[in-house]
Amino acid sequence: MGEWANGRMSECDRVLIIGGGVVGLCSAYYLSQSGREIVLLDQGDIGAGASFGNAGLLVVSHCKPLAAPGVLKSGLQWLLDAESPFYIKPRADFSLVNWLWRFRGFCNRAHVLRSIPVLRKLHVASFRLYQELSELPGMDFGLEHRGLLMPCLTSAALNDEIREAEMLSEHGIEYRVLGREDAHSMMPQLTPTVMGGIYFLADGHLDPAKFLEAMAGCVRARGVTVMTKTEVIGFRTASSRVETVETTRGDYAVGEVVLATGAWSGYLSRQLELSLPIQPAKGYSITVRRLNTAPSIPILSNETKVAVTPMGGLLRCSGTLEMAGLDLSINRRRVDAVLNGARKLIDGLDEPELVEIWRGLRPCTPDGLPVVGRAPGYENLVVAAGHATIGQSLGPVTGKLVSEIVLGDTPSQDIAPLHCARFS
Ligand SMILES: Cc1cc2nc3c(=O)[nH]c(=O)nc-3n(C[C@H](O)[C@H](O)[C@H](O)COP(=O)(O)OP(=O)(O)OC[C@H]3O[C@@H](n4cnc5c(N)ncnc54)[C@H](O)[C@@H]3O)c2cc1C
């Protein structure tokens, strides 16, 4: 480590990536082909953030941003219920109030229609990259391409889903409407109360922990230096450049910095005087031993706000969105609510064999689009954060874009809608 410390190098070609989640690792992977020195740091271990225990859904068909009409109204109703899938911890926090105000401004149809094609292109490109990555030696991360079923418990919910699917189909997204019989023959494990659903063909899923492990091994083999338990605590800047990154294990002179710190990005970016409105939104996953009869296609329900994903010998139930800052405490009632939500959809979860309760912080922007681009006011700082509920899906395409931006190549996707100056 000694050669990196002291911040002596002013003409430095080192690219320092802060954050060892899916975004940081994918950035390291694509940058590792550049011949530059790449260092990736994380304050914890690889996967200390949201990228370890998430639902692993590659939601190619789900291109609607989090900020959409009706979200605030149902959110406010849920706030009164201790087991609800949505919660905002009341607190005097200007950044939260500011975020909610901006979010409210994006909850409209025009914003949704503008965002769908942007997200659609990113999802499609990212899925292709996952397929490429899965073909590399040693990269077995359980990638499956079996689609996604959205089961419905009421005809009102099914009608809502059909309307949404019709809107998405205008952007080339393929789906099938399933009546009760078709839904149950596709997935015999559905509870008798499921009266139909929508099946999206393009979606995939994977095991996120296996992906992180495989990627960490791959980037190390390609010469990336991975430093865990190394927290970034400050920056030294000069003439619109970050010159030195200060960490708990010494200072690093840098040529380029990539901020891939997920839900922590809003806090860290304040040290750089950047306006990055990213709020953490806690979610839980409960992983259980898979039953012989468990479904092999993932399911996602807008009614119970729960996802259930098969992962090898395991089944993962995920849900809830709690805006409580960086608080990682576990609320047992909400954990139970996630399992209860899953029980409404599939049989066999009465007394599951628990493998792990996990929680992670989703990094949410007010408009539901990630931030990918050079930070305003800095020549050598790239931000790649704010992926909210779709960061696992968009990890590879984000990493590729980061690499293109750092290396000065023409980005393979239109990054104008993702620029962080939109919040200035
Ligand atoms: C319950 C749940 C289910 C989800 N399901 C899905 C899904 O099915 N599909 C999907 O696409 N997305 C899903 N997501 C969202 C997805 O997990 C996130 O969008 C994604 O993991 C964000 O990745 P990231 O690399 O930006 O952040 P993270 O994985 O959080 O990584 C950021 C890293 O930065 C590090 N860090 C922070 N501050 C510092 C510092 N000062 N110094 C050094 N390191 C630092 C952290 O330790 C952390 O490891 C889900 C999220 C949750 C919580």
Which pLDDT belongs to residue 76?
67
Query: Distance, CA 44 to ligand 1 centroid (Å)?
Result: 12
Query: Distance, CA 264 to ligand 1 centroid (Å)?
Result: 9
> What tens digit of pLDDT does each residue of 105-141 get?
999 999 999 999 999 999 999 999 999 999 999 999 9
Single-letter amino acid code for the residue at 59: V
Query: Distance, CA 267 to ligand 1 centroid (Å)?
Result: 15
Considering the entire predicted model, what is its pTM? Answer: 0.96
Task: Using DSSP bridges, classify how beta strands 314-323 and 306-311 pair: parallel, antiparallel or unpaired.
Answer: antiparallel
Q: Can you tell me which atom of ligand 1 is nearest the CA of 19?
A: 34
DSSP class of residue 290 equals P
Which parts of the chain have pLDDT scores under 50?
1-10
Q: Where in the chain is the domain with CATH 3.30.9.10?
A: 69-108+143-202+278-364
Query: Distance, CA 111 to ligand 1 centroid (Å)?
Result: 25
Contact 173, 203 (CB under 8 A): no
Least Cα distance to 150 among 2, 345, 324 occurs for 345
Q: Where in the chain is the domain with CATH 3.50.50.60?
A: 2-51+210-277+368-423
Which pLDDT belongs to residue 308?
97
- Ligand 1 neighbours, Cβ below 6 Å, are 18-24, 41-44, 48-51, 54-57, 59, 231-232, 260-264, 268, 283-285, 318, 360, 362-363, 385, 387-393
Q: Which fold has domain 69-108+143-202+278-364?
A: D-Amino Acid Oxidase; Chain A, domain 2 (3.30.9)
Q: Can you tell me which atom of ligand 1 is nearest the CA of 389?
A: 15
Which pLDDT belongs to residue 21?
98
> What tens digit of pLDDT does each residue of 287-343 get?
999 877 788 999 999 999 999 999 999 999 999 999 999 999 999 999 999 999 999
Q: At what angle do helices 391-407 and 22-31 cross, to 10 degrees?
A: 40
Can you identify the CATH homologous superfamily of domain 2-51+210-277+368-423? FAD/NAD(P)-binding domain (3.50.50.60)
